[in-house]
Amino acid sequence: MESDITVERKDGLAVVSLNRPDKLNALTIEMRVELMESFRQMHTDPEIRAVLLRAEGRAFCAGADISTMGKDDVWGDRARLHRAHQMILSIYNCEKPVVVAVRGPAVGIGLSMALACDVLLLSETAKLGQVFRKIGLAPDGGAAFFLQNLIGRQRATDLAFSARLVPAQEALSLGLASQVHPDDALDDAAADYAADLAAGPTFALAGAKRLMRAALQPSLESFLETEAIIQGQIIKSADHAEGIEAFLSKRQPVFRGA
């Protein structure tokens, strides 16, 4: 059976692909663990000098697999959030340059994953969104950290509050992405960009990454600790349970503020 995460290595470049296109690459717990383990290996592998993160199908990632949510006790919820955090940190802290190619929707934890990368390339069909309010949750996966540092508090808050989808050209103008390409040109453009980095001065690029990280306050690690506390409270709310039930029933949720 083919894995939902594939990794191909060639000439110093590792290409990591989300491979669950029939489910719009919605992340299962197993996929989070696979991604975490893959990026941790690439972090220390001297043969890997750059990474390209991409996805099969018409969507980059539709977020978490909602069908598995809302079924755990408080300890299960904490374990789930911890795994999500470890996945994000493994991408963010990888010393190798990480390029991400986004085609179609990248929402929820899918957007957080893309923003954890160093360079974000979009296709013209890309749509980025923080849709957590639709299931009665606050943004997770470090989304608030990434968005506020990239586009400022006002715009970041608007995206979280509105849950609207941001099209590719607007994402580029906001500073959420580096480039936009025609849909059929995205894969080649991203592969060329990543291959150029793989042929570059690896230690200098790693140093540039560390300097970029050092300029941010607070650290992602300390932010995620706060996120875990807040999200751990929200995830047991009646509104979140209603959001999950409504999503699975394909109806509009009726939130009651509890």
DSSP, res 68: G
pLDDT bin (cut points 50, 70, 90) of residue 79 is confident
Give the integer Cα–Cα distance in Å for 223 and 73: 24
Residue 103: inside a domain = yes
Residue 193: inside a domain = no
pLDDT bin (cut points 50, 70, 90) of residue 70 is low
CA dihedral of residues 65, 58, 190, 215 (deg, nearest 10):
-40
Residue 197: inside a domain = no
Residue 106: inside a domain = yes
Residue 170: inside a domain = yes
Q: Which pLDDT does position 105 carry in this prediction?
A: 98
Which phi-psi region, left, alpha or beta, contains residue 190 (left: φ > 0; alpha: ψ -120 to 50)? Answer: alpha
Q: Which pLDDT does position 74 carry in this prediction?
A: 45
pLDDT bin (cut points 50, 70, 90) of residue 80 is confident
Q: Which pLDDT does position 82 carry in this prediction?
A: 87
> CA-based angle 47:51:52, to the nearest 5?
145
Q: What is the domain extent for residue 144?
A: 5-183
Give the integer Cα–Cα distance in Å for 71 and 235: 11
Residue 184 pLDDT > 80: yes
Q: Which pLDDT does position 75 carry in this prediction?
A: 45
Q: Which of 15-19, 97-101, 144-148, 216-220 has the lowest mean pLDDT?
A: 216-220
Take residue 232 and report the two structure tokens written for it.
């751990």
Mean pLDDT across 150-174: 97
Residue 148: inside a domain = yes
> CA-based angle 203:179:223, to the nearest 5?
60
The packing angle between helices 74-92 and 220-234, to 10°, is: 150
φ/ψ (deg, to 5) at 255: -85, 145
Number of domains in the chain: 1
Residue 67 pLDDT > 90: no
Give the integer Cα–Cα distance in Å for 123 and 103: 5
Residue 51: inside a domain = yes
- Got the DSSP string for 203-255? HHHHHHHHHHHHTSSS-HHHHHHHHHHHHHHHTTSHHHHHHHHHHHHTS----
Residue 178 pLDDT > 90: yes
- Can you give the CATH number for the domain in which 119 is found? 3.90.226.10
Mean pLDDT across 46-51: 97
Percent of the chain clearing pLDDT 90 (strictly above): 86
Q: Which pLDDT does position 64 carry in this prediction?
A: 92
Cα-Cα end-to-end distance for the chain: 43
Residue 57 pLDDT > 50: yes
Residue recorded with tokens 């050209």: 169
**189 C-beta neighbours (distance < 10 Å), count:** 17
Residue 1 pLDDT > 90: no
Residues 201-222 have pLDDT tens digits of 999 999 999 999 888 878 999 9
**36 C-beta neighbours (distance < 10 Å), count:** 19
Q: Which pLDDT does position 186 carry in this prediction?
A: 98
Residue 97: inside a domain = yes
